[in-house]
Structure 1
Amino acid sequence: MNFDPVLIADRMTTMKAAGLWRDETIDVYFQRALENCPDKLAVVAYRDGQAEPVRLSYRELDQRVDRIARGLVALGVGRSDVVSFQLPNRWEFVALSLACARIGAAANPVMPIFRQHELSYMLNFAETKVFIVPNVFRKFDHAAMARELQPKLPNLKQVVVVDGDGEDSFDRVLMRDDTPPLAGPGLGPDDVSLLMYTSGTTGEPKGVMHTSNTLFSNLHAYIATMELSASDVVLGASPMAHLTGYGYLAMLPLILNSTTVLQEIWDAARALEIVRDEGVTFSMASAAFISDMCAAVEAGAPVSPQFTKFNCAGAPIPPVTIQRAWDMMGLRVCSAWGMTECGAVTITEPARALEKSGVSDGRALPGIEVRIIDSNGDEVPTGETGELLIRGSSLFAGYLKRPQLNSVDANGWFDTGDLAFQDAEGYIRINGRSKDIVIRGGENIPVVEIENLLYRHPSITTVAVVGYPDRRLGERVCAFVSLKPGCTLTFEDLTAYLDKQQVAKQYYPERLEIVEDLPRTPAGKLQKFKLRETAKSFGNDQ
């Protein structure tokens, strides 16, 4: 794969001279752990339905990483090849990420919710060489889906099934004893190490490319701001295939030489038991996770005095939730805002969390600049809303095969597509999106893609998908549609149609509104803001 990471060349000299790019890959940090604390727990992985977790020291994890890396090489995977894996929060996810770095391949985690529709595009676009899936997860047969996809993807040489018992099982293919030792060079600090898809307004996912330098510059700044150290124990409950999970819950503990505790399926009461039993001190996820834990504590779940810091990103945090978490658990909830393209951009420091997290999304991390401008490109006064631009060390290396979409100007400013205002202390607040995206429980919903699918329905003439407020998830999804004469459409019809299109169920609209016509300007442009205003009242139905 020719990644062509066009957005890093102009930053190399400046970022390295400033010490923001340290030229270190994840394998460098992992080797340090093997020297300093080989018998320390690296990963504790809780599986749904299994009484005891898998516990791996750094030494034991290294042994598995080496075997997986040799197994990938035996399959023909080399430098700049893409390895995709659709795994829940399991030790195999962490080990695969490390193995890819060890052989110079790019890791491409994809969410377990994706189905044939999303995966056929993603894997083909990335020229994925090996695809690793669970056998069955949440009662869905991922192995059957992957095998069905393989003949349609010319670059996909091997499907590998975790917990499988056939010839393509993880143990038989990637955990073999008969593969030769590694000989080739590993990942370089400016090589593309991570390919992660993000939903945009183009109707198709965009492949965000990160190098070790772009990603880890953010993690170092984050570690300092959140005051984390090797003594911390991190709960990994948010999906690892998001940048939140991959960067801050899988890679960050390895950089710290600390421990990450993985929870495969989210259950708040069980999470709090794990927090207590494993001495968890920190985690990061969307606000819905905090709401769920507060409810679980009210129902009798345990509280651990060691669990003191939580970082929320993905949607604004209700102030009442922040206060409840503090009152009930002694947990400081720090707000944050970021994107797959740049990681966490702004954070509220733990010391200011109770004061600022409910009214802001934090202020810029070291190495990152933010700028808020009007339609003329001029900076707006403090407190006024404008378009949010960012630049700095953690900005991505570009979109795979789509440099025309990079949205970076000649001075290195990236247009986030979000609207924000800033207070006198530099704390920002996201208060709108110029991008047509709904964020449900921290998950970006690809609005244009869903609309395009619904436009193909034989009964629909026009459709618009918008978000409406929800106390727990931040937003839910509503589809406004107008119908062809004589046609009818129920909510059940809608979901059955999307199910037939093999779309991830998490992308389904949760409400259907039949309208005679959609609001438009005199020029015919759809006025989605009017639909959003209408949809605001739906949040009162809860």
Structure 2
Amino acid sequence: MPIETNLTPERRQAMIALGAWNDMLLTDYLEEAVTSAADRQAIVTYRMADGTHASLTYAQLNEKVTRMAAGLAGLGVAKGDVVSCQLPNWWQMTALHLACIRIGAVLNPLMPIFREHELRFMLAQAESKVFVVPGVFRGFDHAAMARGLKAELTALEQVLVVGGEGPDSFENTLLERAWERETDTAALFRERRPGGDDVVQLLYTSGTTGKPKGVMHTSNTLMSHIRPFATRLGLGNDDTVFMPSPLAHQLGFLYGLMLPVYLQATAVLQDTWKPAEAVDIIRAERPSLMLGSTPFLADIAEQAEAHGPDLQSLKLFMCAGAPIPSPLVEKAARNLPTRIISAWGMTENGAVTTTRPGDDPSRAVHTDGLPLPFMELKVTDLESNTLPPGQEGPLYVRGASLFVGYFKQPELYGVDAEGWFPTGDLARLDEQGYVRITGRSKDVVIRGGENIPIVDIENALYQHPAIQAVALVGRPDERLGERLCAYVSLKEGIESLTLADITAFLSERQVTRQYQPEFLVVLDELPRTPSGKIQKFKLREQAGQSVA
């Protein structure tokens, strides 16, 4: 059954009339690539654990997608069912998404850093039918975790382990059996073909209510972003995209998984970020475009000082997730021909704004870009009156790539009658329409481009027997943008608390390491308003002063 969304007939009609939506699926672009560029490399994957790499042409990718799609249908995955995966940057992730589209299923990418604490909620809410995981990745046994979760979750019928053995092996189940010979795949795919407004992606984002929200996207919302994005950056099938950011994050998904297929170009994937190894990959594959948050740019700029000649193919680097420091742009420019593209977006939209390749380099430092075609921004005062250029206020966005609702939580959509979505960010627009994100009204810390669900972690820490009160804020960090700092007051009679104490406590509760505080400050009392609310702005100021 199709998943219910907040999409209205009026929005669809407007987007069709605008030319933003055309009901094309990513699998349509795959089929075009097979017709015109069957032997071109579609994906090259590099695994850092063993130093191996593998590649697939578009013809080979299509063959695997066809077999996997028929196999998933054979396993009982119906139209509208959710298939979750917690995969690194491997070709299986791209193939799985395409296979899901072929049979009208919904892919739910999950970050490899997630553990039971996060996954239990997401898999249960999504009612995931199948869960695809690596066997062991970065020293962690994902297969054992997935099997444990399967025993708890009634809807989860099948765990498939990439690189596994036995009955739940991904390879044995989906790839080694010729599923396409057991069914009429043309008829199956024709019957199961999703409409342009059917949900094809379910991606969880950190909210302010303590639990993640499942962002729903359709082929129309996703492709109406990919097309103008490619045009603005001047990309074509002769480009090669280097993606070390996780495909399970919207940035990696859009530009490492979808964009290359749309372009009929090559995606080069690195499964674990290692800057020195990235230099070797760039030397070998000669990508023209790289995308990532500020830490990736900082590391590449550092590598360029010693290995600049090996990195000369990089013509564009799109950086999103945090403002780009001016010295970093200057450092990159000294040894690279790379044009830095600044961007701002969110899971609910993809990149809404980017600078343009022909812009003055200062634009990437001082702004977050112009809205892409089919997207609009406005900045308002607290009474929702639109503000003139240069004034700061809450930022709203509307347009073609806006998502179609939160899974099973339609009441949280928040889009008004005119289609404006409150981003939770503060911003200002200049006379030319360039935006600058100046702050966040949402209670979220962004570490290395990844949102940390503050309320969820605070709720966990409130269960610590030594903690009376806790507040988590971001501490500015040159490389990662922010690191998580915990301010706590202790219960009466408790003499001390260490950072190691609280990280051990969170680890016992299976909270992923990247969501755990990296600094701890113990105060006699946390600053509060007269009504008793913790004044986080004072703690943010204190955290900022600690690194000044």
TM-score for the superposition, normalised by structure 1: 0.98
CA contact (8 A) 1:84 1:130 kept: yes
Does 2:486 align with 1:479?
Answer: yes
Give 1:118-197 correspondences, 5 Å limit: 118-179=118-179, 180-181=182-183, 182=185, 183=188, 184-197=191-204
Amino acid at match of 1:12: R
Does 2:87 align with 1:87?
Answer: yes
Distance in 1 (alpha carbons) for counterparts of 2:509 and 2:374:
43
Does 2:67 align with 1:59?
Answer: no
SS of alignment partner, residue 417 of structure 1: strand
Distance in 2 (alpha carbons) for counterparts of 1:427 and 1:350:
14
RMSD between aligned residues? 1.2
SS of alignment partner, residue 539 of structure 1: coil
CA contact (8 A) 1:269 1:301 kept: no
1:514 equivalent in structure 2: 522
SS of alignment partner, residue 72 of structure 2: helix
2:371 equivalent in structure 1: 364
CA contact (8 A) 2:44 2:267 kept: yes
CA contact (8 A) 1:333 1:353 kept: no
1:523 equivalent in structure 2: 531
CA contact (8 A) 2:67 2:178 kept: no
2:361 equivalent in structure 1: 354
Of residues 199, 202, 215, the one that matches 2:209 is 202
Q: Compared with structure 1, are the counterparts of its residues 272 and 476 closer, same or farther at alpha carbon in structure 2 (3 Å cutoff)?
A: same
Distance in 2 (alpha carbons) for counterparts of 1:353 and 1:512:
41
Offset at 1:297? 2.2
Of residues 270, 280, 285, the one that matches 2:277 is 270
SS of alignment partner, residue 398 of structure 1: coil
Offset at 1:51? 4.2
Write the deviation string for residues 324-371 of structure 1: whole angstroms up to 9, x where unpaired.
112211111110000000111110001115120000000111000100
Distance in 2 (alpha carbons) for counterparts of 1:51 and 1:302:
23
Does 2:427 align with 1:410?
Answer: no
Distance in 2 (alpha carbons) for counterparts of 1:9 and 1:205:
28
Of residues 242, 245, 249, the one that matches 1:242 is 249
CA contact (8 A) 2:210 2:453 kept: yes
1:323 equivalent in structure 2: 330
CA contact (8 A) 1:335 1:353 kept: no
Distance in 2 (alpha carbons) for counterparts of 1:416 and 1:16:
24
Structure 2, unmatched stretches of 5+, are none
Offset at 1:176? 3.4
1:40 equivalent in structure 2: 40
Amino acid at match of 2:76: G
Distance in 1 (alpha carbons) for counterparts of 2:378 and 2:370:
12
CA contact (8 A) 2:69 2:100 kept: yes
Distance in 1 (alpha carbons) for counterparts of 2:545 and 2:309:
36
Give 1:333-412 correspondences, 5 Å limit: 333-352=340-359, 354-412=361-419
Distance in 2 (alpha carbons) for counterparts of 1:528 and 1:66:
52
Offset at 1:428? 0.6
2:446 equivalent in structure 1: 439
Distance in 2 (alpha carbons) for counterparts of 1:256 and 1:9:
30
Distance in 2 (alpha carbons) for counterparts of 1:372 and 1:468:
26
Distance in 1 (alpha carbons) for counterparts of 2:5 and 2:193:
18
CA contact (8 A) 2:304 2:332 kept: no
Amino acid at match of 2:62: D
2:14 equivalent in structure 1: 14
Distance in 2 (alpha carbons) for counterparts of 1:150 and 1:426:
49
CA contact (8 A) 1:334 1:353 kept: no
Write the deviation string for residues 18-56 of structure 1: whole angstroms up to 9, x where unpaired.
110011001100000011111111001111244442110
Amino acid at match of 2:129: K
Offset at 1:7? 2.8
Write the deviation string for residues 245-290 of structure 1: whole angstroms up to 9, x where unpaired.
0111110000011110011111112112211211200021101101
Distance in 2 (alpha carbons) for counterparts of 1:147 and 1:2:
28
Bigger mean CA deviation after superposition, 367-376 or 178-187:
178-187
CA contact (8 A) 2:315 2:337 kept: yes
- In the alignment of these two chains, the number of paired residues is 540
Offset at 1:2? 5.3
Of residues 215, 221, 226, the one that matches 1:219 is 226
Offset at 1:299? 4.0
Write the deviation string for residues 137-183 of structure 1: whole angstroms up to 9, x where unpaired.
00000000000110111100000000111210111111132432322
2:263 equivalent in structure 1: 256
2:78 equivalent in structure 1: 78
